[in-house]
Structure 1
Amino acid sequence: MLINRGANPNSATKQFMTSLHICAQVNALSCAEVILDHCDSIVDRPDWGGCPPFHYAAYYGNPAFVEFLLKKKANPNTKNKRGMTATHWAALNGHCNIIKLLFNNGVDLKLRDQETRTVLHYAALSGDLDSVKFILENTSIPIDSQCSAGYTPLHYAVLNGRSRVAEM
């Protein structure tokens, strides 16, 4: 009703979040469909940190929303201002289901952020065993891959007390 009465689906908050970013955050698929029916140009629009709605869906672990955005041709390899992709966010938050979904849709898991961290670094930091195992079994990321500060995934695991990942 609001859009039909003139509400602008392209409007953004002071942090440059559109209504689609918020939909991705709270997993509001039906609202996202309405918004994109009226304004599909915002599917990859970044917020103040360079994160498109796709990053929010991955960060919050919303697989149905990730699939929805893939069908709407959102770019899953888009990097934010820190060089992070949706896969980095999924790994950081232990969402192995999202990592698998993105991998199965051809997303490059070997992309590095500005500090040259990989998804393996983020998965080790999160302590999610399933994510670490999946990444090791499905990518050629070296287990001792160093970021720009020299940290390996093992360093990140012990940094957060992730003993099960460190032992793995």
Structure 2
Amino acid sequence: MLALLAAQPGLARVTAATGMTPLHHAARHGWAGVAQRLLDLGADPDAVNRWGLVPLHYAARYGHGAVVELLLDRGARPDVAAAGGQTPLDWAIVFGHPQVARLLVERGAAIGPFAAAGLGDVVRLAAWVERDPGWLSARNDWQGTLLHVAALAGQREAVRWLLDRGADPRARDARQRTPGDHARDPVIRRWLAVAPPEPAG
């Protein structure tokens, strides 16, 4: 890839019909050296594809911390929201990359309610919910609730706090999974265990 860019530097600014750029692909695969060269050749660190995703979303989704740091160093905005509303921080949390999530927070990423649940930041979570209790039943782009995200991230304190305030452990996401279905922590799984609904009729 580097040899190809050396021969055809204009490729750094090519955009596919989907809005995908070479930098999106480099970020997805964790090719830090290629990403750096693309940026040197003028690639846009905030290029948006048809799904509203920037290269930082892909680097965060796949846990490529070196690429995340490079993109931020080169001016990428940490809070770009995808078409469904999720930021790179949300993706780092949901896909299980806490080190990348911490890096994004350290570099200025805003902590919204879903990110607060996934980080186990009960102080911020409480501020959001107390300001608007509707957040307890709000849905993200995969139809998960705050409780889904906290359970998935293994955040016991956040799960307990949400349950104590009436979050629904029976809520189902787009794949018909409950918060308990996402939980790997045995304590959280026990807290979220609920009796199955009675059959109709």
TM-score between both structures, scaled by the size of structure 1:
0.75
User: What's the C-alpha RMSD, in Å, of the aligned pairs?
Assistant: 2.7
Q: Which residue of 1 aligns with 2:91?
A: 89
Aligned positions of 1:150-165 closer than 5 A: 151-153=145-147, 154=159, 155=169, 157-162=179-184, 163-165=186-188
From the two aligned structures, give the one with the greater helix fraction.
Answer: 2
Output the CA distance in 2 between the equivalents of 1:120 and 1:158. 19
Shift of 1:136: 2.2
If you compute each CA radius of gyration, which structure gives the higher value, 1 or 2? 2
Aligned position for 2:124: 140
Does 2:58 correspond to 1:56? yes
TM-score (norm 2): 0.64
Matching of residues 9-158 of structure 1 within 5 Å = 9-40=12-43, 42-110=44-112, 118-120=114-116, 123=118, 135-137=119-121, 139-142=123-126, 145-148=135-138, 151-153=145-147, 154=159, 155=169, 157-158=179-180
By how many angstroms is 1:138 displaced? 7.1
Runs of 5+ in structure 2 lacking a partner? Answer: 130-134, 148-158, 160-168, 170-177, 193-201
Name the amino acid aligned to 2:67. Answer: F
Please list every run of at least 4 consecutive aligned residues from structure 1 whose deviation after the TM superposition is greater than 6 angstroms.
none
Question: Once the 2 structures are TM-superposed, how far is the Cα of residue 18 of structure 1 from its aligned partner?
Answer: 0.5
1:129 maps to none
Task: Evaluate the alpha carbon distance shift between residue 107 and residue 20 of structure 1 in structure 2; reply closer, same or farther with a 3 A threshold.
Answer: same
Change (3 A) 1:138 1:20: farther
Name structure 1 gaps, 5 residues minimum: 113-117, 124-134
CA distance in 2, matches of 1:16, 1:30: 22
Secondary structure of 1:78's aligned partner: coil
Shift of 1:140: 1.1
- Equivalent residue letter for 1:160: H
> What is the identity percentage for the equivalent residue pairs of Structure 1 and Structure 2?
24
